[in-house]
């Protein structure tokens, strides 16, 4: 297996540390001309740090374009030579890892349909043993953090030192605004559990369409993601895969210029002091909330005792509806959404039932 050259290795190290890290390129490599022209035009924007292209495409349904295969790897090598930018491709099998490394692919990524399968991840991880190459791991298609963490562990156990994460959203049944629901809270939780790993966002596969790409990208940056991977094609409507979500290199350059990069004024002391003050206020309020919730649960326990003594069930649906209705009315005045109130009270209700249950069974 060939290894990538020393200077390119240094470039990759710099890119790995750069914030925001921007990866772009077509969903799929289609022809040599398409890969090289996309790469050249992306490099011209001056805003892209790494080139991407799918060589082997795991498509959900058979019959759609399943990738050009290893034949596209020399095109990526050539794109790197012309632009000086490192390249990344998706790998799903040991053979694909071997082929990608033979053609000096600088960074590998594991796709969402692979992360769901521990056998496949292990196969890729075994092929990576003894190799020094950074690996990005997309979240699994289903909202299961354990699978995502499992993939990270398998790759890390194979000796890979540089592992990064890509948040690309999660499949959900039925028509939603997104192709893959972002479920931002899962990405946040993954980051909380793995603070040392970089996490970039993939607005293309979350959106599935061009018109909301910028919104998704902005939200990701607001949530302190480390970068973006966005698909770009020289003629998006004619792309052989994911045509609806791809944008031209020039549009990508423009879009990146429209994003408010939240880290810009990180050096301003005044900003820090103001932020610190607000955060302290939040901490005080959170403490109070916890205290109040604790008190609420002690009352629930008293109610539990009363219900036990009178031999009645814990759940009284009417009472619960009444609580929710009251909360909605109050919430409206306080600018709290119905969605939030429902989620909050569901959690409180569950905790309350557990407390009462403990009492009834004691
Ligand atoms: C891709 O990046 O082109 C791709 C197939 O993505 P995912 O694995 O997120 O579906
Ligand atoms: Mn794609």
Nearest ligand by distance to the CA of 54: 1
Residue having the nearest C-alpha atom to atom 3 of ligand 1: 27
- Does the pLDDT at position 191 exceed 50? yes
Considering the chain, what percentage of its residues have pLDDT values greater than 90? 74
Pocket probe for ligand 1: among 28, 68, 89, 111, the residue whose CB has the most ligand atoms within 8 Å is: 111
**Rounded CA gap, 248 and 320, in Å?**
52
206 Cα: distance to centroid of ligand 1 (angstroms) = 10
Residue having the nearest C-alpha atom to atom 6 of ligand 1: 111
Grade residue 359 by pLDDT with cuts at 50, 70 and 90: confident
Atom in ligand 1 nearest the alpha carbon of residue 27: 3
Residue having the nearest C-alpha atom to atom 4 of ligand 1: 111
- Does the pLDDT at position 1 exceed 70? no
Whether the CB-CB separation of 41 and 253 falls below 8 Å is answered with no
Better-scored residue on pLDDT, 316 or 349: 349
pLDDT digits (tens, 9 = 90+) for 214-227: 999 999 998 899 99
354 Cα: distance to centroid of ligand 2 (angstroms) = 44
pLDDT digits (tens, 9 = 90+) for 65-99: 999 999 999 999 999 999 999 999 999 999 999 99
Rounded to 5 degrees, φ, ψ at 54 are -85, 130
The number of residues in the chain equals 362
Give the C-alpha distances (Å, rounded to integers) separating 231 from 45, 76, 92, 203, 330.
Answer: 14, 15, 19, 9, 44
Helix, strand, coil % in the chain, rounded to nearest 5: 55, 10, 35
Considering the chain, what percentage of its residues have pLDDT values greater than 70? 97
Residue having the nearest C-alpha atom to atom 2 of ligand 1: 27
205 Cα: distance to centroid of ligand 1 (angstroms) = 7
77 Cα: distance to centroid of ligand 2 (angstroms) = 20
pLDDT digits (tens, 9 = 90+) for 127-170: 999 999 999 999 999 999 999 999 999 999 999 999 999 999 99
pLDDT digits (tens, 9 = 90+) for 11-65: 999 999 999 999 999 999 999 999 999 999 999 999 999 999 999 998 878 888 9
- Does the pLDDT at position 268 exceed 80? no
199 Cα: distance to centroid of ligand 1 (angstroms) = 16
Tell me the pLDDT of the chain averaged across its residues: 93
Return the pLDDT at 263. Answer: 65
Rounded to 5 degrees, φ, ψ at 8 are -65, -35
Mean pLDDT of 276-298: 89
Pocket of ligand 1 (CB under 6 A): 27, 54, 111-113, 138, 168, 205
Grade residue 360 by pLDDT with cuts at 50, 70 and 90: confident
């Amino acid at each position: 297996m060939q290894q990538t050259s020393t200077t390119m290795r240094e470039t990759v190290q710099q890119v790995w540390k750069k914030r925001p890290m921007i990866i772009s390129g077509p969903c799929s490599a289609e022809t040599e001309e398409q890969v090289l022209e996309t790469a050249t035009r992306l490099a011209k924007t001056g805003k892209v740090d790494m080139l991407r292209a799918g060589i082997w495409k795991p498509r959900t349904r058979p019959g759609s374009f399943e990738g050009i295969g290893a034949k596209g790897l020399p095109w990526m090598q050539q794109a790197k030579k012309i632009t000086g930018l490192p390249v990344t491709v998706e790998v799903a099998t040991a053979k694909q890892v071997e082929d990608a490394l033979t053609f000096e692919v600088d960074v590998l990524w594991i796709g969402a349909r692979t992360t769901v399968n521990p056998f496949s991840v292990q196969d890729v991880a075994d092929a990576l043993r003894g190799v020094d190459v950074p690996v990005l791991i997309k979240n699994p298609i289903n909202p299961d953090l354990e699978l995502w963490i499992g993939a990270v562990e398998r790759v890390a156990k194979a000796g890979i030192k540089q592992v990064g994460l890509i948040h690309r959203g999660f499949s959900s049944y039925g028509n939603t605004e997104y192709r893959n629901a972002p479920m931002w809270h899962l990405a946040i939780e993954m980051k909380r559990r793995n603070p040392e790993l970089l996490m970039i966002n993939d607005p293309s596969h979350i959106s599935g369409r061009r018109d909301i790409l910028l919104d998704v990208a902005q939200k990701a940056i607001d949530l302190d993601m480390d970068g973006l991977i966005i698909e770009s094609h020289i003629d998006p409507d004619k792309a052989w895969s994911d045509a609806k979500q791809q944008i031209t290199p020039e549009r990508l350059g423009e879009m990146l210029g429209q994003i408010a990069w939240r880290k810009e004024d990180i050096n301003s002391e005044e900003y820090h002091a103001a932020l610190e003050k607000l955060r302290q206020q939040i901490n005080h309020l959170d403490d109070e909330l916890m205290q109040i919730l604790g008190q609420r649960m002690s009352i629930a326990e008293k109610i539990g005792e009363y219900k036990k003594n009178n031999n009645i069930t814990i759940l009284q649906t009417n009472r619960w509806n009444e609580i929710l209705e009251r909360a909605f009315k109050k919430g409206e005045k306080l600018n709290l959404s119905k969605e939030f109130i429902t989620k909050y009270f569901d959690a409180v209700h569950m905790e309350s039932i557990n407390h009462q249950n403990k009492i009834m069974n004691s």
